[in-house]
Amino acid sequence: MQANRREFIKVSLGGIGVGFLSSTSVGGAGGGGSNRHGKNVLFIIVEDLKNVMGCYGNPLVRTPNLDRLARRGLIFDRAYCQYPVCNPSRSSFLTGLRPDTTRILDNRVPWNTHVGDQTTLPRLFRDNGYTTIGMGKIFHGRKGHDDHEAWDVNLDFAQTPTGKCGESRNMTDGRIKWCRWLAAEGTDEDQPDGQMAARAVELLKQRRDKPSFMALGFHKPHDPFEAPKKYFDMYPLESLMPPVMPGNRSPKEPYMIGSSWAAVFQEFSLQDQREFLRSYYAGVSFTDAQIGKVLDEMDRQDLWKDTIVLFVGDHGYNLGEYDWWNKAVLMEDSARVPMIIVAEGETRANVRCDQFVELVDLYPTLADLCGLKPPANLEGVSFRPLLGEPDRPWKKAAFTQVQRGAISGRSVRTKRWRYNEWTRSGEVLAAELFDHASDPQEYRNLADMDDFKTTRAELSQLLKTGHDQLHRSEHGS
């Protein structure tokens, strides 16, 4: 385990307690700016997680703990990321700004390069008297990417030597370094995510005199696909089948994938595809088990009535759709994310919401729920009204984008349509239009058909007018 200096001083030397406030906590003398009455926040972020859990209708992938979390609260069926890559997505939802504003369009540039001292989501809570605890991957990496002023406790973890051993294979014969799996020896706690869950449980046991904001950033199912062997054993290879592409699907636009990895994936055998699915599913079930340990402690300490629990994936993932085994595409599987929220007094048990929400909305929503005043420049909108009334009219669309060098890809998703537009210096190079009423897998591109000219023009205009005008018209702001 690696701990930064703030963690050492405040935890090892007993400077503060770092557990959760509960109704049974004994109040103590509060420091300057302390908030002794707000609810705790447990913010769970999972890397590369698409909607494959049981609560999203998949009977194959074993996620009993996320399924029980969904039964306890509100599950969103139409949640979308703003950029289907780790750093751009996290830079967006942790600042409350869209990628056009953050200008973070890859995994190399730190979140604050162009927005300066924008108050991030965890820093807002720290500035308002919360104890802030960050573990695992919240921002994209630590060297130069984290917001170190946001955390009272900031922890990362590493595999043990035992956790690095086991049966393994690179599914591309080494051509793509990350594309490998490891059915690891040892226990859950020989892996970073297992260690993080154990530490989170320890911290939840502590009592304190002011509320906490705890963010847990689980790495798996992100590559490399490493998890204890028992999770691989849950998925016999012969039971797994990749998606079947229709023979009459439209040709892919040249910008859809934008990666040389696509040629390597084209050579995947059925065995390779099955191993990829098994590896990804093993990571999902492994992370589900770790989240279950945290939820169990929430039960034991009776923390639900005092804690807002928000679970999200940072973006989706493709598992063979369009012959693509990764993310970073403007299609449903990459852009759509799982999202579940439980907030006593706000949500009801086992309810689904079919309205559009976006990850950029997380910041204003958590601030709203906790009575905090966020920065005035946030570009999302609080979806708190949906928690109690999930069928009320809301956003008409969600927006996602990617970058292919000088070529920009922008997507708008409405309840019936997905429209993608590829431009360079303002010139439209290609477009994709998919009708989810008849083609939910997005295989039939209608953009150049005469019958859909009007629809294409309307959606293209929506991309140009953008989310700001959409929000003003719908919410009166």
The Cα 132–Cα 130 span in angstroms is: 6
Residues 261 and 227 sit within 8 Å (Cβ to Cβ): no
Distances in Å between the Cα of 409 and the Cα atoms of 130, 155, 206, 314, 445 are 39, 36, 47, 19, 16
379: its two tokens: 């570009």
The Cα 58–Cα 315 span in angstroms is: 18
The Cα 243–Cα 273 span in angstroms is: 10
Residue 364: cis peptide before it, omega within 30 degrees of 0 = no
Give the distance from CA 368 to its chain's centroid. 20
As annotated, the active-site residues are 86, 140
Residue with tokens 């205009």: 461
Give the distance from CA 240 to its chain's centroid. 25
29: its two tokens: 């003398």
Distances in Å between the Cα of 69 and the Cα atoms of 74, 232, 239, 401 are 9, 23, 27, 30
Question: φ and ψ at 265, to 5 degrees?
Answer: -65, -30
Neighbours of 42 (CB within 10 A): 25
DSSP conformation class of 395: B
What element of type H or E holds 198?
Answer: helix 192-205
